[in-house]
C-alpha cells in the first residue's frame, strides 16, 4: 500500500494557527502510517526517510509556531 505524503499544508511564516487543530491530527496519522509501514527508517529508501523527516518537520513547525505541546 503506497500513499502519497506530499505536503498538503501551507507551512510558512504566515501559517494560520487556527488550522492546527485540523492539521496536527492529520500529520500525526500520516506519521504513524509511515512508521507502521516502515518500522526501520534507517533501512528504508532515501525517499521514505525524506517523507518521514518532512512530516516530522511539519509537526514541529506547527507546534513551535502555534505554541502547542
User: Does the residue 43 lie in any domain?
Assistant: yes
In a domain, 3, yes or no: no
Confidence of residue 16 (pLDDT cuts 50, 70, 90): very high
42 in any annotated domain: yes
Q: What percent of the chain has pLDDT over 90?
A: 68
pLDDT of residue 13: 80
Kindly state whether residue 41 falls inside one of the protein's structural domains. Answer: yes
Q: What percentage of the chain carries pLDDT values higher than 70?
A: 86
Residue 36 lies in a domain: yes
Answer yes or no: is 8 within a domain: no
Residue 52 inside a domain? The answer is yes
In a domain, 31, yes or no: yes
| Enclosing domain of residue 31 | 17-65
Compute the distance between CA of residue 40 and CA of residue 8 in angstroms, rounded to an integer: 25
Give the pLDDT of residue 5.
Answer: 42
The cell numbers describing 38, all together, are: 516502515
Amino acid at each position: 500500500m503506497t500513499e502519497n505524503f506530499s505536503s498538503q499544508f501551507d507551512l510558512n511564516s504566515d501559517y494560520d494557527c487556527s488550522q492546527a487543530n485540523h492539521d496536527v491530527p492529520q500529520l500525526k496519522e500520516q506519521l504513524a502510517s509511515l512508521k507502521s509501514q516502515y518500522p526501520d527508517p534507517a533501512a528504508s529508501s532515501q525517499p521514505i526517510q525524506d517523507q518521514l523527516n518532512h512530516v516530522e518537520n511539519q509537526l514541529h513547525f506547527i507546534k513551535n509556531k502555534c505554541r502547542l505541546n
